Chains A and B, each alone.
Chain A
Amino acid sequence: MKPVRLAIAGLTACSGCQLTLLNCEDELPDVLRRFELVYFPMAQSGGHREGPFDAALVEGAVSTPADLDMLFSLRNASRLLVAVGTCAAFGGVAAMNNGQSQRQELLRTVYGGHESLPESFAPAPFGNFVSVDWTIRGCPPEKEEVVELLAALLAGTLPPVRSYPVCTECRSRENLCLLLEKGELCLGPVIQGGCNARCPATGIACEGCRGPVREANVAQELELLLERGFGREEIDRRMNRFKPGWDYEQRR
C-alpha cells in the first residue's frame, strides 16, 4: 500500500498539538511505518512544503503574514486540510482579547514603542481564510482523537463527528457536578465533549478548551452563572479564554 503523505506544521501556537502526536509513544512506530512525513519541521529536517500531501495537519492561529502564506501553501498542496487544536479552530488563547483590544496596542505593551514592531494581526481561525476538511479540538487535543484521525486517513475516510457536551461524559463518569453541587464556574454544558470530562474528573471546572458544542444553550449557561453570583466580566473572561465572540443569545 502506498504510504499516506503528510505535512505537519504549526502557525501561531505552543506546538502542543504537534507534540501530542509525538506523545503517542505506543502508536508512533506504527505511524512512522504507515505514513510518509514529507514536511514536519519540528521533528524532521530537509522537508519541503510544496507537496502534494494527502493531508496537512496544522496547528495554531493565523496571526501574521507568514502564517497566512503557510496556510495557503499547505491548503493548495493538500487534499485534506486538518485544523488541529483550539487555536486553529477558534483562535485559541492568543485570541482571547480580540473583542476588546487593538493588536497594535498589545504589541506596544510587550515590545515598547519601536518602529519595527513584529508584523501581527488579531489571531484568527483557519476557517476565516480557507476551507477546512476536519477539525480536532482541544488545548491540547486528546491523543485518541489524533490517532483516530490517522486511522481514518489510512482507511480513506474521516472520523465520526462528536456533538455532545462535556457534561454527558462527566455524568457518565459519575463525577460530582462542579457547577450545580459546588457552585463553580464550569463551562461543561456548552463545551464539546470528547475529553471524557478530563478536568471535572480531576476536580477542576471545565475551562472550555474544546470550544462550543453544536446546539449549545449559551443563553441558559449565562443565566445560570449569573444566578449563581458570578459577575458578567468574569464569565466573559472565562468564555473567551479559548474562543472570542460567543453568541450569548444562542439557544437550541
Chain B
Amino acid sequence: MSSVVEINPLTRLEGHGSVKVFLDGARVERVELHLSESPRLFEALLVGKSYAEVPDIVCRICSLCSTVHKVTALLAVEDVLGIEVSERTSLTRELMLNGATVQDHALHLYFLVLPDLLGVQGVAELAGVAPELVKQGLAIKKVGSLIQETVGGRLIHPVNIRLGGLGRVIPKPELTQLRDELRLALPACQDVCRLFCTPFPFPKLPEPAFLALEPSSVPLGSRRLRLSRDRSFAVGEYREHVEETFLAYSNAKLSKVMGVEATVGALARLHHAPTLSEGAGEIFKAHRHELIGKDIRGNNLAQAIELYDAAERALQLVERLLELEPGPEAGVAAAPRSGTGTAACEAPRGVLIHSYTFDDAGICTQADVITPTALNQGALARDLLALARGMEGEETARMTAALERLIRCYDPCISCSVHTFPP
C-alpha cells in the first residue's frame, strides 16, 4: 500500500520548505524536497535599476546572508566598471564577511542544530536544559553581530560598504573595542568544536562532489571555482558549467555543476585546503580524519572550525586596520559603462554567484544570482533519499527526525535559494 510521509513545515532553518517521502509499504519509492518559499523575483526586479542601486536592493534577498550578498554584488558591479578599491575597503569587507560567519555559524550551530543533540524542540527549551550553552552561544554570536553593527553600520542589510569604498572609516576607538571583544570571545569560539565533533549515527550517505572557491592569497581575490579534486573553472564562465532545471514542486531551480550534484559549504571549503588561522588549523589537523573524505554529516563540525577561524581572522583584520594611517575613504564616483560583471564569494553556507549586465547608461539589463542552497538542492535531495532508504522499516518519527537533522547539516537558507534565472 502506498503512503506519503510529509514533514511540513521544515523547522529550525531559514525560509519555507517541506519534504515528502513516498512509501510503498515500508519501501521508500522517492523523496521530494520542496523549497516552497514565495518567489520574490529579484532578478526580474533588478532589470531597469541603475548599477548604484543593485547592491542595496539585492542584499535584501536574505537576512542571514545580507553581508555576503552585498559584497558579492559590489564586486560584480565593480568588475563591470573597472573600479579597484583601497586596502582599507578590502580589509573592511573581509572583516565584515568574517563577522557574518561568526554570527551565522553561531546561530546555526547553537540555536538550530544543538537542540537536535540535546533532544529538545528549539531555542526556548534549550534555555531550560542548557542555560550555560545558550549563554555561550549568545556571547559568540554577539561578537559577530557587533562587527556587523560597528563596521557595517547595521546588523542586517549593511549600509557602510558601498561601491568603491566606505560610508565612513571606522574610528580607532571602535576598532579597539572590537579587538577587545574578539579577544574575550576567542576561548569560547575555540570551544565550539567540542560540541559538534560526533556525527549522528545514521546510515552512510553518498560521497559528495565538493564545490568551493579556490583559496587565494589576495583577500576576496579568488576568481576560480573548484569542483572536487581535479576540475575547476573561471567564475566568469559559470554559465557554461552550472546548469539549472525547473522543478514543478520547488521554487528554487535545481543546479548541476559540470554535470554533477555539487555540495557547497563549510565542509566543501575545508576539502579544498584553505589556509586556516593558526588555532583553527590546529583543530582542523586534530579532526582531519573525521572530515576529509566524509559525507555531509561532517559539515557542522566544519562550521565549528570555520567559526574559530573567522574569529581569529577577524581579530587579525581589526589589528591590521588599526595599523593603517587614518585617511578619508570616499566611495568612487564611477562613470557608467556597458558590460557584464560576475563575482563569487563564499557565504557561510557555500558559494554565492552574482552576475549583472548593464547598458551604456548603467541600467541593469540582466541579473542572475545563484545561491548556495540552490546549488546544494540536488545533493540534499539525493542524500535525503539515501537516508530514507537506509532507514526503511524504522518508525516514522525516527525517520523524519533523521531527515530533518540531515537537512540541518546542510544549513539551508531557503529564501536565498528561490531566485534563479532562465537557462
A residues adjacent to B (C-beta < 8 A):
10-17, 19-20, 22-23, 25-26, 28-29, 32-33, 36-37, 40-47, 60, 63-64, 66-67, 92-94, 96-97, 101, 105-107, 109-112, 114, 116, 118, 120, 123, 139-140, 143, 198-199, 202-204, 207, 209, 234, 237-238, 241
Contact = CB atoms under 8 A, between A and B. Distances in A.
Contacts of A140: 63, 154-157
B168 to A, nearest CB: 5
Contacts of A120: 38-39, 41
Which size bracket describes the interface of B in this complex?
A: 35 or more
28 contacts: A12-B40, A13-B415, A16-B157, A19-B64, A22-B111, A22-B123, A23-B145, A29-B138, A36-B124, A40-B122, A42-B12, A45-B121, A66-B38, A92-B60, A94-B45, A107-B44, A109-B47, A110-B44, A110-B421, A111-B422, A114-B248, A139-B60, A199-B154, A199-B159, A203-B160, A204-B153, A204-B162, A204-B167
Contact of B127 (A29, A60, A109): A29
Interface string B121-154: 1111001000100110011011001000000011
Contacts of B66: 14, 16
A25 B145 contact: yes
Contacts of A106: 41, 44-45
Contacts of A107: 39, 41, 44
A10 to B, nearest CB: 8
B63 A11 contact: no
Nearest to B104: A19
Contact of B11 (A17, A41, A94, A207): A41
Contacts of A110: 39, 41, 43-44, 419-422
B242 interface: no
A139 B157 contact: yes
Given A25-B145, A33-B127, A112-B246, A93 B45 contact: yes
Contacts of B138: 25, 28-29
Interface of B: 9-16, 36-45, 47-50, 53, 56-57, 60-64, 66, 107, 111-112, 115, 121-124, 127, 131, 134-135, 138-139, 141-142, 145, 153-157, 159-160, 162, 167-168, 246, 248, 251, 253, 404, 415, 419-423
B41 A94 contact: yes
A55 B162 CA distance: 38
A183 to B, nearest CB: 12
A14 B61 contact: yes
A15 B15 contact: yes
A94 B131 CA distance: 39
A220 B16 CA distance: 42
Most buried by B among A29, A96, A110: A110
Contacts of A46: 11, 121-122
A19 B57 CA distance: 19
A106 B9 CA distance: 27
A10 B248 CA distance: 23
B13 A241 contact: no
A11 B163 CA distance: 31
A44 B11 contact: yes
Given A16-B157, A110-B421, A207 B49 contact: no
Most buried by B among A14, A101, A234: A14
B124 A118 contact: no
A198 B159 CA distance: 9
Given A14-B60, A110-B39, A140-B63, A32 B49 contact: no
A45 B154 contact: no
Contacts of B162: 204
B249 to A, nearest CB: 9
B56 A207 contact: yes
A94 B40 contact: yes
